[in-house]
């Protein structure tokens, strides 16, 4: 048996990835954040500094000096995580090559392995579609395991609710019954793709996109005739392209995204997800007119698909079509949602910043935080910039400190300049950050 000191960081990240996609953690963003935080602190060499106080502050944004006991919730969640780990390794994780443990009385993660982890090669299908080799260096093992672990009975419930379907809708069950008649593997691929689709936001999270990409690549392997595998892979690849600075790698991601999206459209041209994937791929290739046209078409094909609306809202916002972005993101049906998967509140908040409505920006992002929406470094950057623009320097500096603590090396400038059609829109945010003392990290 090998222990933490003999296990590579890559193996530890893979172990974390397998846990994060376990269905028992689905919908529990707080536990996922807890788990991710302690692993990242351990990998950064700060494992011996993990305390309930640091978790309360850094993960839950709780002030331990307010007279309450925010550390109590940390202790409760730690117990829940220990129970989850026991359940995972007794069930679908019984053959995991590396196990993560949280010993009683502390929060520092411990890793142990009972076998050597073998390298996973890139599939021939990935090579055929020109996927960059680097895309599969993280999460390749995870993708294979997710293909087994997530396609369990009942997992379609969360996925259906996330994309705007009712899990109890008779048509949903009829759809799955029809797919099963084709083959059990086809239903497995469908369920897995719907589940993976809920994981794609925030698009600025590079590790998330690599993980999601590996999952959709697994979907394609299970059922090469299912359009959803290609559509999902296209969106992950396009996300990697838009957050990657100008380079050959960026171009490779964009080209592969378009190939995958075109295959999805070829298989299912009448599906909103196919058109939405091609919209995002077009955006990654800087064909903004096509991106908007295809995104609008997708929203008309299925006006109740929250993921389709999110991507249309993102395209509209980053291309400077702020009115359309607001109209798409601020739909009452989504703002009332509690499913914690949509990015519409983040899109709305960022768009209101560019319209000079800074207080609304802060309010939208606060709603997103309270509801457990996807959170990324640019989210906090926009809140910092909005507070700065309103002259609330003390609050802005505090938010900037929070940003730099959570994502100390995040290339905020490169991210925003890479994704905005008009670089001046990125600069509007960065200028406010600089006013508060932000300095772009050396990349």
270: tokens are: 């009448």
Q: Which residue has the tokens 């929250």?
A: 306
What is the per-residue DSSP string for 191-258?
A: HHHHHHHTT---TT-HHHHHHHHHHHHHHHHH-TT-HHHHHHHHHHHHHHHHHSPSSHHHHHHHHHHH
Q: State pLDDT tens for residues 76-91.
A: 889 889 888 988 888 8
Query: pLDDT value at position 132?
Result: 45
Q: Where on the phi/psi map is residue 153: left (φ > 0), alpha (ψ -120 to 50), or beta?
A: beta
Q: Is the pLDDT of residue 443 over 50?
A: no
The residue ranking higher by pLDDT, 10 or 160, is 10
- The token duo for 302 is 């299925």
Question: 111: which strand partners?
Answer: 100
Residues of the chain with pLDDT > 90, as a percent, come to 43
User: In the structure, what pLDDT confidence band is assigned to residue 235 with cuts at 50, 70 and 90?
Assistant: very high
Measured CA distances, 432 to 19, 172, 400, 413, 416 (Å): 38, 47, 11, 12, 13
Determine which helix (DSSP H) or strand (DSSP E) holds 401, and give its type and residue range. helix 393-406
Residue 339: what are its φ and ψ, rounded to 5°?
Answer: -80, -5
CA-nearest of 382, 431, 442, 440 to 413 is 440
Q: Which residue has the tokens 């070829």?
A: 266
169 pLDDT more than 80:
no
Residue 102 burial by Cβ neighbours in a 10 Å radius (0-12, 13-18, 19+)? buried
The predicted pLDDT at position 137 comes to 36
Which of 17-21, 142-146, 360-364, 399-403 comes out lowest in average pLDDT?
142-146
pLDDT band at residue 135, thresholds of 50, 70 and 90? very low
Q: Which residues contact 341 (CB under 8 A, 6 or more apart)?
A: 162, 198, 201, 306, 373, 374
What's residue 119's pLDDT? 30
Res 165 pLDDT > 90: no
Query: 436: exposed, middle or buried (C-beta count within 10 Å: 0-12, 13-18, 19+)?
Result: buried
What is residue 170's predicted lDDT score, i.e. its pLDDT? 52
In whole angstroms, give the CA distance from residue 282 to residue 305.
20
Strands across the sheet with 109-113, in order?
A: 2-3, 109-113, 98-102
| Least confident window among 34-43, 125-134, 226-235, 315-324 | 125-134
**Alpha carbons 442 and 193: distance in angstroms, whole number:** 37
Listed residue (421, 415, 391) closest to 403, CA to CA: 415
To the nearest whole number, what is the mean pLDDT of the chain? 81
Q: Which residue has the higher pLDDT, 151 or 310?
A: 310
Q: Does pLDDT of 292 surpass 80?
A: yes
Please state the φ and ψ torsions of residue 147, each to the nearest 5 degrees: -60, -30
Give pLDDT tens digits for 172-229.
667 777 777 778 888 888 988 988 888 888 888 888 888 889 889 989 988 999 999 9
Task: Give one DSSP letter per residue of 149-206, joined into a string.
Answer: HTSSTTTHHHHHHHTT--TT-HHHHHHHHHHHHH-HHHHHHHHHHHHHHTT---TT-H
Cα–Cα dist 93/84, whole Å:
11
C-beta separation of 154 from 114 below 8 A: no
**Mean pLDDT: which of 76-80, 131-135, 234-238, 362-366 is highest?**
234-238
- pTM of the full predicted structure? 0.65
Cα separation, 110 vs 246, whole angstroms: 38
Question: Of residues 280 and 79, which shows the higher confidence score?
Answer: 280
- The DSSP output letter for 319 is T
Q: What is the CATH number that goes with domain 119-286?
A: 1.25.40
Domain residue limits, the chain: 2-113, 119-286
Instruction: Please check whether residue 73 is in contact with residue 18, taking contact to mean a CB–CB distance below 8 angstroms.
Output: no
Taking residues 273-278, what's their average pLDDT? Answer: 97
Name the β-bridge partners of 110: 101
Question: Among candidates 217, 313, 312, which has minimal Cα distance to 263?
Answer: 217
pLDDT at 60 over 60: yes
Tracing tokens 């309103």 back to the chain, one arrives at 390
Q: Who has greater pLDDT, 38 or 177?
A: 38
């Amino acid at each position: 048996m090998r222990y933490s000191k003999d296990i590579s960081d890559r193996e530890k990240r893979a172990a974390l990835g397998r846990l994060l996609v376990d269905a028992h953690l689905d919908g529990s963003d707080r536990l996922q954040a807890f788990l991710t935080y302690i692993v990242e602190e351990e990998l950064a060499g700060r494992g011996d500094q993990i305390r309930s106080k640091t978790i309360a502050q850094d993960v839950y944004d709780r002030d331990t000096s307010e007279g309450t006991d925010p550390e109590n919730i940390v202790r409760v969640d730690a117990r829940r995580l220990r129970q989850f780990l026991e359940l995972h390794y007794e069930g679908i994780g019984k053959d995991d090559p590396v196990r993560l443990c949280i010993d009683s009385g502390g929060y520092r993660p411990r890793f142990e392995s009972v076998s050597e982890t073998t390298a996973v090669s890139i599939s021939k299908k990935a090579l055929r579609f020109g996927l960059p080799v680097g895309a599969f260096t993280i999460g390749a093992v995870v993708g294979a395991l997710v293909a087994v672990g997530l396609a369990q009975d009942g997992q379609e419930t969360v996925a259906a609710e996330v994309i705007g379907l009712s899990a109890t809708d008779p048509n949903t069950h009829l759809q799955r019954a029809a797919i099963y008649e084709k083959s059990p593997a086809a239903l497995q691929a469908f369920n897995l793709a719907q589940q993976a689709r809920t994981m794609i936001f925030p698009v600025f999270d590079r590790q998330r996109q690599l993980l999601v990409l590996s999952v959709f690549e697994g979907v394609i392997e299970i059922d090469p005739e299912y359009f959803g595998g290609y559509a999902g892979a296209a969106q992950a690849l396009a996300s990697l392209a838009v957050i990657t600075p100008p380079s050959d790698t960026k171009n490779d991601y964009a080209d592969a995204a378009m190939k995958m999206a075109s295959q999805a459209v070829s298989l299912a041209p009448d599906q909103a997800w196919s058109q939405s994937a091609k919209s995002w791929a077009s955006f990654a290739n800087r064909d903004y007119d096509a991106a908007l046209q295809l995104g609008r078409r997708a929203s008309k094909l299925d006006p109740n698909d929250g993921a389709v609306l999110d991507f249309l809202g993102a395209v509209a916002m980053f291309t400077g079509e702020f009115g359309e972005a607001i109209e798409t993101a601020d739909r009452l049906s989504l703002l009332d949602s509690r499913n914690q998967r949509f990015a519409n509140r983040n899109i709305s908040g960022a768009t209101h910043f560019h319209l000079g409505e800074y207080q609304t920006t802060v309010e939208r992002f606060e709603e997103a935080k309270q509801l457990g929406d996807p959170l990324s470094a640019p989210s906090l950057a926009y809140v910092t910039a909005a507070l700065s623009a309103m002259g609330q320097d003390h609050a802005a500096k505090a938010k900037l400190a929070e940003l730099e603590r959570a994502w100390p090396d995040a290339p905020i400038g490169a991210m925003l300049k890479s994704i905005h059609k008009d670089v001046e829109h990125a600069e509007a945010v960065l200028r406010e950050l600089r006013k508060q003392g932000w300095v772009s990290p050396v990349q």
